[in-house]
Amino acid sequence: MGSILIKNGTVTDTSESIADVYIENGRIARVGDCSDVRADTVIDASGKYVMPGLVDMHCHLREPGFEHKETITGGALSAVKGGFTSIACMPNTDPVIDNPALVHYVITRGEEAGYARVYPIACITKGMKGEELTEMATLKKAGAVAFSDDGRPVSDSGVMRNALEYAKTFNLLITDHTEEKSVSGDGVVNEGVNATIAGLRGINRAAEEIGIARDIVLAESLGAKVHIAHVSTAGGVELIREAKERNVKVTCETCPHYFSATDEEILSYNTNAKINPPLREQSDCEAIIDGIRDGTIDVIATDHAPHSAGEKNREFDLAPFGTVGFETALSLAYTYLVDPGNIDMPKLVKLMSHNPAKLLGLPVVYVKPGAMADLVIFDPAREWTVKADALSGKGRNCLYDGWLLKGKVMHTIVGGMLKC
């Protein structure tokens, strides 16, 4: 393992300062003036941020079973291209990740890939059927970092109550896809004016908010913790804000598409804008940004959801939900949150690295001597146009194809090794 010297970068975690960073044997050896150091690789980071590697607590790698969409290797490569050094993948594969053998499989495949660190999230219920709880303590021992039936809600409130109670006993994290299916039905976009114009079936925001409210009530009654996935509505943000004011143990995440895009994207029938929860209205985007700014929202995750071209190139109603997001997430966060002055870079590090790591029980990386050398070098001045065909991994279903973004990942270092 060679040594790396990063020169003159803006070192950013809880604060910002200009410094050199010297990496040796997989760890940060020195931070400060390293002009006397000789290294195998030297990177001039003048004008660039040197920050902890990003941690994505919500992505889909599709393996096993859906390798025509993506593989763990392809997804992990795409992740490091976007500055992610650790990623936690959802269990809605085929078969679903509900037993220790499959947890071990995902971990092993991630190690073999050799890009980002890959951590499996296991199912809350066996077969993701929403009926019988998995052996969560056993799955955690095998290496699962959290539990979710993401892609489907746990509709039975009794089952969800039992899951939260079980998780409380063993200090496990439940991350829930909140959706009341009797309300969302067979909708494909946000219910509103644009759905009417496009002639597409709508999903009322109440479907998400009912699910959030239920989980908050259950968590509060049990004194248990719960994490709400991909919050997209103003009402959802307010429910979580009020719960936090009552000291309910609720945390939540949003995704870049919920603060950067609206349901106007569906008017061209672009199936890459078909996402669940759906893209909402401008007022929801503003509420999401407010929630990020005031700390109601704890994490920015990607919900990276690759699909094959054949699956997405269909009628809007028939195309699957989801967009890829690894390689655009940090640039979108910079373009829509940092550059306009909504938050600063240390706050973004907290949202995209420190907080998700803490929630998942992973090492929290700070740019200081002795720390694990999982770092990203990000150029805030670099403007680039997203080209879906140039992205890594198999998935090309990118909502942001053709968008001009500000700020780009230049290098990602995982365990002291330069990955891109």
Active site residues: 303
Encoded tokens for 335: 């373009």
389-416 per-residue burial string, b: 16 or more CB within 10 A, e: under 16: eebbbbbbbbbbbebebbbbbebbbbbb
Tokens 């194809």 correspond to 401
Q: How far apart are CA 189 and CA 203, in angstroms?
A: 6
Sign of CA dihedral 274, 275, 277, 283: negative
Q: How far apart are CA 256 and CA 267, in angstroms?
A: 20
Q: What are the Cα distances from residue 145, in Å, to 3, 136, 148, 170?
A: 31, 10, 10, 12
Q: What amino acid occupies position 153?
A: P
- Angle of CA points 283, 285, 290, to nearest 5°: 95
Q: List phi, psi (to 5°) of 365.
A: -95, 130
Q: How far apart are CA 153 and CA 146, in angstroms?
A: 15
Q: Name the packing angle between helices 282-294 and 234-245 (round to 10°).
A: 20
Q: How far apart are CA 118 and CA 88, in angstroms?
A: 6
Nearest Cα to 125, choosing from 78, 170, 163, 90? 163
Q: List phi, psi (to 5°) of 127.
A: 65, 10
